[in-house]
Amino acid sequence: MTTTTKKPLSDIEIANKATMKPILEIAENAQIPLDAVEQYGRFKAKIDTSKISGEATAKVVLVTAISPTPAGEGKSTVTIGLADALHQLDKRVMVALREPSLGPVMGVKGGATGGGYAQVLPMEQINLHFNGDFHAITTANNALSALIDNHIHQGNALNIDPRRIVWKRVLDLNDRALRHVTVGLGGPMQGVPREDGFDITVASEIMAIFCLATSLKDLKQRLARIVIGYTYDRNPVTVGDLQVEGALALILKEAMNPNLVQTIEGTPALIHGGPFANIAHGCNSITATQTARKLADIVVTEAGFGSDLGAEKFLNIKAREAGFKPSAVVIVATIRALKMHGGVAKANLVEENVDALKQGIANLAQHVANVRNFGLEPVIALNRFITDSEQELKAVLQWAAANEVRIARTNVWEEGGKGGIELAEKVLEVIEQPNTFHHLYDLQETVEQKLTKIVQQVYGGAGVQLTDAAKKQLAVIEKNGWDTLPICMAKTQYSLSDQPSLVGRPTDFVVTIREILPKLGAGFLVCLTGDIMTMPGLPKQPAALNMDVAEDGSALGLF
Amino acid sequence: MTTTTKKPLSDIEIANKATMKPILEIAENAQIPLDAVEQYGRFKAKIDTSKISGEATAKVVLVTAISPTPAGEGKSTVTIGLADALHQLDKRVMVALREPSLGPVMGVKGGATGGGYAQVLPMEQINLHFNGDFHAITTANNALSALIDNHIHQGNALNIDPRRIVWKRVLDLNDRALRHVTVGLGGPMQGVPREDGFDITVASEIMAIFCLATSLKDLKQRLARIVIGYTYDRNPVTVGDLQVEGALALILKEAMNPNLVQTIEGTPALIHGGPFANIAHGCNSITATQTARKLADIVVTEAGFGSDLGAEKFLNIKAREAGFKPSAVVIVATIRALKMHGGVAKANLVEENVDALKQGIANLAQHVANVRNFGLEPVIALNRFITDSEQELKAVLQWAAANEVRIARTNVWEEGGKGGIELAEKVLEVIEQPNTFHHLYDLQETVEQKLTKIVQQVYGGAGVQLTDAAKKQLAVIEKNGWDTLPICMAKTQYSLSDQPSLVGRPTDFVVTIREILPKLGAGFLVCLTGDIMTMPGLPKQPAALNMDVAEDGSALGLF
């Protein structure tokens, strides 16, 4: 898989040149019973989880990262490359990833399926509609909106206050014009006018529910618990009150089965679900992870953004709901990104700058501490970049040695699994050892106690303060008995604090909780620390402008 | 397939009891090359049309109906039953149908895949997401909207007037609250405020394009021609001007391959596309029909509503674009519905009423005349209902004999193909004879000439008048050279006239054209004769309230 050409191929060129195995062969190699495999074309399948027996016993390796920077760290690429490396070492391994959202694909990303020789295939279909899961979630979300507005229009037996509906519509697109809309205009035959807005589908509570539900029954119960708004008397109104959880579950049923695909090297991959890591919990579905844990000995999975966001929620929310203990955590870092945390501008990253690098390592240090605070031992994946200098490399390795953290260089973009062997070997060392994994807080602690633990032990901050609005919301939450839910922090990904500009390792900061939104279906309290964008916009030159389809049907312009 | 039980099973009960053949077996029986079959689960497939060689030579049988009434005629059921009957007679037959829209399924219908023992399977998946085609169309439509609003927000290089954008967003749901909305609210960072609205996906011009495109190249060219609005100088702005036809085609690419399923009796069915028959042309895709014509000797297909709507457009638009000549037309009627056209209220349909029936037959007579005006010979399918009396039956048969129209009783709901044998035999008689099929108008005729021919020869009316607004629009259309496009009438389905209450066979009426909308991508001029609902609403008790999914995963509440 090593390429020796000077000008590297683009991701889609590499993907198009790769020879895929029929998905039935991938399934057979993974010992998936063939009657559980529902083919979707030649190279994709859905796995009927009701036909997968056995216990979910595989060890879980979580891949996280330092605080993301515009330099890019390559977390998905490393996740895939690590799985390929373990596969090369003859381990029974599966990789479990999130599905890409079409909005960013058409906006800035052009694709989100790893890179270089560490990709999942078929790249094009995974990046577009995949097997329709996000479309099912969009449809369920918007069917609920239509049913709410219809309920009010048809007499409003539940006494819903149209001004206090919190359920928003969604589309899986970047569309800023839909952030704030008014609906129901045009007169008495066209519904009841009210303010509304659209989020991107990955921000839908149904996406979070989809990823946390452990069975169809659990799915339905969670859907029924969704609070869609409040009555004129300020009492919560749920999906269960509207009696439509059955219809929503029916819309989601087919999508609930995880999707099997393969890496370029033929490692089996389950890709399923994809909630935001800021407003939601940022991990692929429990269904996929637990199915992979029944089928393999090691499951490599990832969580969104840095360890302060996706990993914290993976460990405090997803692992708790699913009832498993992770065995190791990989923290992806690059010298480039660490230099940005040390204050270097993106334009100057090609220049060697050991001093800035040493400063930026402070960010990595916090992420290492975070993992250890959960009783887990991290392995740093230092993802190679062509501009890395020997002096810079030395500085990072010295720091790691001094802090007794395992570190491995990875070169999976260029070499595939071979470029992840060193990382794989260190991960194997860690997962053989016992660990003392524990959640960071108990559910019975107060909301403020939980928040304080997250801020102090994961962000490295001093503490937390609630705005008056948040205090009011917390009072309602406590009154309704919802305060025993876990916390889902909604925070900028760019800083360990709640201030995006504070890169590196800020200290002594107090995090402000502006709002606390109960998401009873997902089963967590979203605590907003700032303006979290739940519907992105398109850039001046959207990636869509480069996309095309050739007359022979091949896709162009996916990166 | 005959059932002798007194209390008939529901459609979904019958569907769930049916034993489906693996889709590969259906494909093999239909002599579809296996490398053209992309399985989507065990019982659905997409057909890669690039792998289907040969000429499209099968004879085409079009199934249409009298003007629809609340009594229901069972057109899809007869279409499927006729194909099954031809299959029983050892003909190489395929049925080509439209895909159901989720909006009506969740609103009033609960399902739209035929009925009784004349159904296509898997009923549940076809009625829900099927293979994602409508989701792809929704996404392409709304991606275009997002790109338009982004273009304006980012500087508006094309000088688009936000007040003159004609491109609307869509969802495949019944959602009246989205008919009239304002978007882009919230300040300068949230886009440019403007009025907008959502149609149901089946009303999207992209749906019409999807169904009329004959290749990927044609698809892209049609997309590029879509007029999304006008500049401040009133010049049209197209998708080509925005340079995003490639991205939209990429989103649609996978969906462009038609979907193979089976009837309860194992007859191969291609189900693909589903434009509205009022605002659009109301037929399944040309791709599906032509693919079926390469694979079979006879293709049975249907068009929406009565012969004045779907069939007129099938014959004047679809057959012209695809370049084929139909061989026979079946007109579905029921005694119940004819009695409604004779003035009987729905509640009184159980009573024998030969006089009203005779009056109502006038509606059927116009539909027979319509078909003959195209140089085709109709066969009436008199779809049996339990309340039909011998006297009523005699009256219809006598009328048919007097007018020398072939007529056959069908009982396909109860008996499947066996209940359609008589119809099949009469259809076989007709398709063996030569016909003098011709389009009703030439494209070079003026818009008013084309309109007059449709009104006089298809509706039985006196003529046509244009409102001042329509005249203005026609002037713009002529100025731009768009007047050589075919006409797509947008008219109520309940009457042959433009007045929904005029059932039976109204005469001497003048049809008012209120607006003429150029749809350059679809390649027709939509002529609006009244308020055509392009976004339905939900009823007081939506079908969704009955829908559910059992713990074993089976669907409940689809009828």
Q: What is the rounded average pLDDT of the residues A264-289? A: 95
CB-CB under 8 Å, B548 with A246: yes
What is the distance between the alpha carbons of residues B382 and B394, in angstroms, rounded to a whole number? 12
A263 pLDDT higher than 80: yes
By annotation, the residues of B acting in catalysis are 75, 77, 98, 109, 277, 305, 385, 413
Chain A segment 256-315 residues within 8 A of B by beta carbon are none
* Rounded Cα–Cα distance for residues B275 and B10 (Å): 27
Chain B residue numbers with beta carbons less than 8 Å from the beta carbon of A168 are: none
Contact A409, A385 (CB under 8 A): no
Q: Write down the CATH number for the domain with range A447-529.
A: 3.10.410.10
Report the 3 state secondary structure along B368-386: HHHHHHCCCCEEEEEECCC
Binding residues of A: 69-76
Asked if pLDDT for residue A543 goes beyond 80, the answer is yes
In the prediction, which pLDDT does B16 show? 86
The whole-angstrom distance between B172's CA and the closest CA on chain A is: 8
A158 CA to chain B: closest CA distance, Å? 14
Q: What is the pLDDT of residues B164-219, one digit of tens each?
A: 999 999 999 999 999 999 999 999 999 999 999 999 999 999 999 999 999 999 99
Query: Pairing relation of β-strands A236-238 and A45-47?
Result: unpaired
Indicate the helix (H) or strand (E) that contains A182: strand A181-183
Closest Cβ–Cβ partner in A39, A190, A216 for B551: A216
CB contact under 8 A, B38 and A42: yes
Measured between beta carbons, the chain A residues lying within 8 angstroms of B175 are 142, 145-146, 149-150
B120 Cβ contact list (under 8 Å, min separation 6):
B80, B95, B97, B113, B114, B126, B261, B262, B263, B264, B269, B271
Of all residues in chain A, the one with the smallest CA distance to B242 is: A545
Mutate to test the interface with B, among A250, A252, A552, A559 (most CBs of B within 10 A): A250
According to CATH, where is 3.10.410.10 located in chain A? 447-529
pLDDT number for residue A104: 86
Helices B245-252, B205-212: crossing angle, 10 deg rounding: 70
pLDDT at position B1 is: 41
Taking a C-beta distance cutoff of 8 angstroms, is the pair B116, B414 a contact?
yes
What pLDDT shows up at residue B110? Answer: 60
- pLDDT of residue A4 exceeding 70, the answer is no
Give the tokens for residue B165: 């954008």
Contact status of A182 with chain B (Cβ, < 8 Å)? yes
Indicate the pLDDT class of residue A16, thresholds 50, 70 and 90.
confident
The answer to whether the beta carbons of residues A266 and A26 sit under 8 Å apart is: yes
- Which tokens is B373 given? 């005006």
A150 interfaces chain B, CB cutoff of 8 Å: yes
pLDDT score recorded for residue B6: 57
Pair type for strands A268-271 and A259-263: antiparallel
Write the pLDDT tens digit of every residue in A120-150: 999 989 999 999 999 999 999 999 999 999 9
Portions of chain B given CATH number 3.30.1510.10: 133-252
Contacts of residue A534 in chain B, CB cutoff 8 Å? none
Find the closest chain B residue to A183 by CA distance: B181
Residue B377 assigned as binding residue? no
pLDDT at B542: 94
Residue of A150, A183, A186 with shortest CB distance to B542 = A150
Residue found by looking up tokens 């409508």 in the block: B134
pLDDT per position as a tens digit, A102-113 = 988 888 876 679
> Is A269:A263 a contact under the CB 8 Å cutoff?
yes
Task: Give CATH 3.40.50.300 domain extents, chain A.
Answer: 11-126+255-431
CB-based contact B41 A42, cutoff 8 Å: no
- Name the token pair of A429: 């060392």
ipTM: 0.95
Residue B302, pLDDT score: 96
Q: CB contact, 8 Å: B218 with chain A?
A: no
On average, the pLDDT of chain A sits at 95
CA–CA min distance A209, chain B (Å):
16
Determine whether the interchain pair B250/A556 forms a contact, defined as Cβ–Cβ distance below 8 Å. Answer: yes
Report which of B180, B186, B198 is spatially closest to residue B142, judged by C-alpha positions: B198
Whether domain A11-126+255-431 has CATH 3.40.50.300: yes
- What one-character-per-residue DSSP string does B49-117 give? GGG--S----EEEEEEESSP-TT---HHHHHHHHHHHHHHTT--EEEEEPPPPHHHIIIIIS--SEETT
Assigned token pair, B58: 């099968």
Q: What is the DSSP string of B494-520?
A: SSSSS-TT--S---S-EEEE-EEEEET
pLDDT at A141: 98
Smallest Cα distance from B422 to chain A, Å:
39
Best mutation site among A24, A105, A129, A556 for testing chain B: the one with the most B CBs within 10 Å?
A: A129
| Residue A74 predicted with pLDDT over 50 | yes
Angle at which helix B245-252 crosses helix B133-153, to 10 degrees, equals: 160
Q: What is the pLDDT of residue B310?
A: 95
Q: Which residues of chain B, if any, have pLDDT below 50?
A: 1-5
Say if residues B345 and B69 touch (Cβ distance below 8 Å). Answer: no
* Nearest-5° Cα angle at A53, A48 to A59: 100
Query: Residue B2: what pLDDT?
Result: 45
Residues A181, B185: C-beta atoms closer than 8 Å: yes
Given an 8 Å threshold on Cβ–Cβ distance, is B216 in contact with A181?
no
Q: A41 vs B41: CB contact, 8 Å cut-off?
A: no
Q: Which two tokens stand for residue A283?
A: 């991990």
B150, B174, B196, B210, best to mutate vs chain A, most A CBs in 10 Å: B150
Q: Has residue A100 got a pLDDT over 50?
A: yes
- B240 contacts in chain A (CB < 8 Å): none
Q: Greater confidence, B71 or A478?
A: A478
Backbone phi, then psi, for B534, in 5-degree steps? -105, 0
pLDDT at site A6: 58
State the pLDDT at residue A110: 60
Q: Which one has a higher pLDDT value, A480 or B6?
A: A480
Residue A14: how many other CB atoms lie within 10 Å: 22
- Interface-testing mutation among A149, A190, A216, with chain B (most B C-beta atoms within 10 A): A190
The CATH classification number of A133-252 equals 3.30.1510.10
